[in-house]
A and B are shown apart, each in its own frame.
Chain A
Amino acid sequence: MSLDKNDIRKLAVLARIDVDDAIIDDVASKISDILAMVDQMQAQDTSAVEAMANPLDAVQRLRRDEITETDQRQSFQAIAPATEDGLYLVPKVID
């Protein structure tokens, strides 16, 4: 699969990454090379194979629905770019 500039622009929006016009051809060509290498997979018949998400085929471990964590809001927010009254501040979303 070969990707062009427009494909990269769409992906960049989805990934919230800006790809500068000056490098977009290079980005498209390198990602196309990676996908060409990855395409070796397509020749393999896997119709009878079950997908594997966890190498040990483990299932999600459950615990009792109890509060086990303590309140650490202060220490977590101490490293935030901007907070006020215990809330994280971001640019205004609705005027």
Chain B
Amino acid sequence: MHKLTIAGIVEGLGRGDFSSEEITRHYLRRIEQLDARYNSFISVTPDQAVARARAADKRRSKGDAPPLCGVPIAHKDIFCTEGIRTSCGSKMLDNFVPPYSATAVDNLAQAGCVTLGKTNMDEFAMGSSNETSFYGEVGNPWDTGRVPGGSSGGSAAAVAAHLCPAATGTDTGGSIRQPASLCGITGLKPTYGRVSRYGMVAFASSLDQAGPMTRSAEDAALLLQAMAGFDPRDSTCSDIEVPDYSAGLDKPIDGLRIGLPREYFEQGLDTGTETAVRGALAELEAMGARLVDIDLPHSHLSVAAYYVIAPAEASANLSRFDGVRYGYRCKNPRDLNDMYTRTRTEGFGDEVKRRILVGTYVLSAGYYDAYYRQAQKIRRLIKNDFLAAFEQVDVIAGPTSPTTAFEMGAKSADPVQMYLEDIYTIATNLAGLPGMSIPAGIIDGLPLGLQLIGNYFDESRLLNIGHRFQQATDWHQQTVSQCMQEV
């Protein structure tokens, strides 16, 4: 049963091939027996999952099944889940059991999804390797000595290892797409505002966006359909109507204009990565798409602008963790200031502290204009580059990640090297555009993704291209035998 996609599970449940309880127990068993290898889950919730699955089966028997009725999935541990510990990968929230659920979680539950558990992640989503988690690193299912990417590394690994058919993720600078690339799955970061951020632990509020991590573009369409939509509880959530994402999946793509940013292909792109990406592009060309060279002249400034804006917003957002209302509190504080300081010093890991310090610096008096204001201006230049490009093309394509998965520990001592992991994904977050990574090749036994960037609210087109590509190729079905092991 673990070979099935979401679309396949929906069909199987509909035909009565198996019940939700059966497939839910199947996945729970896989997690229990196989996840010691990967450490992709922080919390598993078997009792709630089985109860929800039984309720789903009952609904189906009454002829009252919502679209994803009884489909088991996992949530990144950044989404608040009522009554289920939500740690955000941090000691700070190790004891945090939220009294409410995130809108994205609620929406998926409304659509019928069953939650198997919560997946591992970089602490507060700050990282590109899942090595900053308080709950330990996650092994890449293709080679457990390598990282799965981050910050949604647990979700990516769990989907790749067939421990769940799909999972939610969040993407602030590449945190859905880069782990999707490194684990050989499909990951979609929607347009900023497409999915509500309510109940998602905030990292950088003007960049954070939730999206699906799946084994196919078709599945991403099904999940996004349930996740997306207006939410009055998130003041930045868009009220633009949500289209039917599955309806346009099969549309032919002949005549499609695909823009290739010169900057992405010229600046020291890894040869293996380039070969894989060019191979995927040739495939799309054979399907009738036209490749057009474009320029994104300010793209070299993306990482710099991001590492001002994201830490600045993080330092403000994470000021809420003070030991007063929820989460960790230090033992025997001498006074209020000691309580704040020791709670934060003991509760946060090194990378989180580093980003808070950088954010505090760039927002401090005398540096605000030189750093924060300048970064916000560069952000507009980057957005304008994309707007100009979309005058000429329908979609932009390039690599998702600079290379395939690297070995654990290879970059953890050098923050700047780690930050450069997101060199191709960050601009999309700064501009607020949707981006998707789809498996596009295998280099020396490790998968690599092709990134597609769409115009605002044009997720349908990305899903359509991804689906057509996956109809013509089988990169998304490639796996290693370990991931298919029966239990």
Q: A12-B357, A76-B325 are in contact. Are A56 and B456 (CB under 8 A)?
A: yes
Are B376 and A53 touching (Cβ within 8 A)? yes
A window 54-95: CB within 8 A of B? 54-56, 58, 60-61, 63, 72, 75-76, 78-82, 88, 90-93
Residues of A within 8 A of B431 (CB): 55
* Shortest Cβ gap from B228 to chain A (Å): 15
- Interface code B303-338, partner A: CB below 8 Å = 1, 0 otherwise? 111011000000100010011111101000111111
Are B304 and A60 touching (Cβ within 8 A)? no
**Residues of B in contact, count (CB < 8 Å):** 73
B residues contacting A by CB (< 8 A) are 95-99, 192-193, 206-207, 232, 235-236, 238, 298, 300-301, 303-305, 307-308, 315, 319, 322-327, 329, 333-342, 344-345, 348, 353-354, 356-358, 360-362, 364, 370-371, 373-381, 383, 414-416, 419, 430-433, 456
Are A55 and B430 touching (Cβ within 8 A)? yes
Are B99 and A76 touching (Cβ within 8 A)? yes
> B240: nearest residue on chain A (CB-CB)?
A56
**Interface CB pairs A-B, < 8 A, 12:** A16-B344, A17-B353, A18-B345, A37-B419, A44-B298, A51-B379, A52-B380, A55-B206, A56-B193, A61-B235, A79-B98, A81-B326
Are B335 and A58 touching (Cβ within 8 A)? no
Q: Which 10 A-B pairs have the closest CB atoms?
A: A55-B432, A51-B376, A46-B377, A81-B329, A75-B99, A52-B380, A49-B377, A18-B345, A16-B340, A15-B360
Are B370 and A42 touching (Cβ within 8 A)? yes
> A20: nearest residue on chain B (CB-CB)?
B345
Which secondary structure dominates where chain A touches chain B?
A: loop
> A78: nearest residue on chain B (CB-CB)?
B99
Residues of A within 8 A of B360 (CB): 11, 14-15
Are A90 and B339 touching (Cβ within 8 A)? yes
> B239: nearest residue on chain A (CB-CB)?
A61
**Residues of A in contact, count (CB < 8 Å):** 50
A window 1-28: CB within 8 A of B? 3, 7-8, 11-12, 14-19, 27
Residues of A within 8 A of B414 (CB): 33
Residue from A8, A41, A79 in contact with B357 in the complex, judged by beta carbons closer than 8 Å = A8
> B367: nearest residue on chain A (CB-CB)?
A1
> A48: nearest residue on chain B (CB-CB)?
B377
Residue from B301, B326, B345, B364 in contact with A80 in the complex, judged by beta carbons closer than 8 Å = B326
Residues of A within 8 A of B315 (CB): 15
Residues of B within 8 A of A92 (CB): 335
Residues of B within 8 A of A37 (CB): 303-304, 307, 416, 419
* Shortest Cβ gap from A75 to chain B (Å): 4
Report how far A11 CA is from B311 CA in the complex, Å: 13
Residues of A within 8 A of B361 (CB): 3, 7, 11, 31, 35
Report how far A92 CA is from B456 CA in the complex, Å: 51
> A58: nearest residue on chain B (CB-CB)?
B236
Residue from B98, B377, B415 in contact with A50 in the complex, judged by beta carbons closer than 8 Å = B377
